[in-house]
Amino acid sequence: MKSKLRGIGVLTMVLLAVSPAGTQTPGPLSAERIAKLETTISSFMSQQNIPGMTVAVVMDNQIRFQRGYGMADVENFVPAKVLTVYRIASVSKALTAVAAMQLVEKGKLDLDAPIQKYVASFPTKTFPITTRQLLAHLSGIRNYRAGEAERTNRYATLTDALSIFKDDQLESEPGTRFNYTTFGYTLLGVTIEGASGMTFEDYLQKNIFAPAGMQHTYVDDLYAIIPNRAHGNTPRVFGQLDGNYRNPVLMDSSYKVPGGGLLSTAEDLARFAIAAQNGVLIKPETFAEMSRSQKTRDGRDTGYGFGWYLGGTGGFANDTEVVWHGGVQPGFTSDLVLLPKKRFGVVILTNLEAGGRLELGRLAKQVADVALQ
């Protein structure tokens, strides 16, 4: 059986390298440049044995290129396309951060007030926690323990999901240490609910998805019928990207919707990137604030702003102006990379769980080099 599965993987990879699917948005890219993008993306997929991928490129606040490649569902031989919907994992944090900053602009959310102002049920800790610290991963709230990232519990509300960690001690005094935490963004989501008077999902739909023109972005609900939903893949041997894949472990992401529980298309995330930077969702000065590295209390840069990593990633290792976020969870890896000063962005969504080993930042750099040449 193992060799048969490996054979299917190899066959799929051969097909992907030569078979882009979907349609391209008209734009100024020349036929020659489009052909180079096709070759670059297909070659990368073949090298990394990626079953399916969708890529979108933003230039001058417009989507100039988008294509699907390979298989969105290997088992049923369904091609990936422009409208394929993927788990975007921690890229969700960028959307949540913009939602929070909208409320700050409206005077409904105080970045420096104790979190209990908006979430009265959250226990008081030894030190106060603020929204600013949640946004920047400086709150001291813990991240996953062993096995917690693949929870199968179903939580009816985000407030219910706080039960996972709300009674635990802080790992550090808020403001003193960068500690990446998806749980912190669950609390941020409940904060948004308290400040807005709406459920987190309803707030996103009205204030992020609709104004940005995101028609195919959803909460990752295992029970919902989601048109064009991709099927994920996981290496049988951790870290080996050899085409010998299996179905991912089960996970119900209802506990972490704000920090890693959204589904989207490359096109929708490209629309989000445009709307976040051109004044549709937040003011340009607010985006600039979100794109500045936060500091610990003793003045150390964290390399993270509000919902964005800052500075080099992958092929952009020496580029201090890149703004980005990646994500990985069962079956999927994603990347959203922006070069604000060049008015450029690239979205890469895949149905292979591999995280940094997939080196999507390297592909993003290759795409940028071709598109901006």
Q: pLDDT tens across 235-251, in order? A: 999 989 999 999 999 99
Residue numbers of the chain with a pLDDT score lower than 70: 1-27
Which two tokens mark 304? 């993270």
Q: Can you give the residue ranges of every domain in the chain? A: 2-84+230-236+268-371
Please write the tens of the pLDDT for every residue from 274-293.
Answer: 999 999 999 999 999 999 99
Q: Is this prediction's pTM over 0.85?
A: yes
- Which H helix or E strand runs over 259? helix 257-260
Nearest by Cα to 244 from 11, 32, 59: 11
Q: What is the pLDDT of residue 20?
A: 53
d(CA 205, CA 322): 28
d(CA 294, CA 133): 9
d(CA 206, CA 156): 21
Q: What is the pLDDT of residue 154?
A: 96
Q: What is the pLDDT of residue 207?
A: 98
| Domain 2-84+230-236+268-371, CATH class in plain words | alpha beta
Which of 232-237's residues contact partners 24+ apart within 8 Å by CB, and which partners? 232/87, 232/330, 232/331, 232/332, 232/351, 232/352, 232/353, 233/51, 233/74, 233/331, 233/351, 233/352, 233/353, 234/330, 234/331, 234/352, 234/353, 235/352, 235/353, 235/354, 236/2, 236/5
Q: What is the pLDDT of residue 11?
A: 35
Q: What is the pLDDT of residue 317?
A: 74
* Sheet bearing 218-219, strands edge to edge: 86-87, 262-264, 218-219
Residue listed under structure tokens 């000065």 = 285
Q: What is the pLDDT of residue 296?
A: 98
Burial of 48 (C-beta count, 10 Å sphere; 0-12/13-18/19+)? buried
Q: What is the pLDDT of residue 21?
A: 53
Q: What is the pLDDT of residue 19?
A: 47
Residues 154 and 82: beta-carbon distance below 8 Å: no
- Which H helix or E strand runs over 329? strand 323-329
d(CA 315, CA 356): 12
Q: What is the pLDDT of residue 146?
A: 86
d(CA 245, CA 240): 9
Residues 267 and 197: beta-carbon distance below 8 Å: no
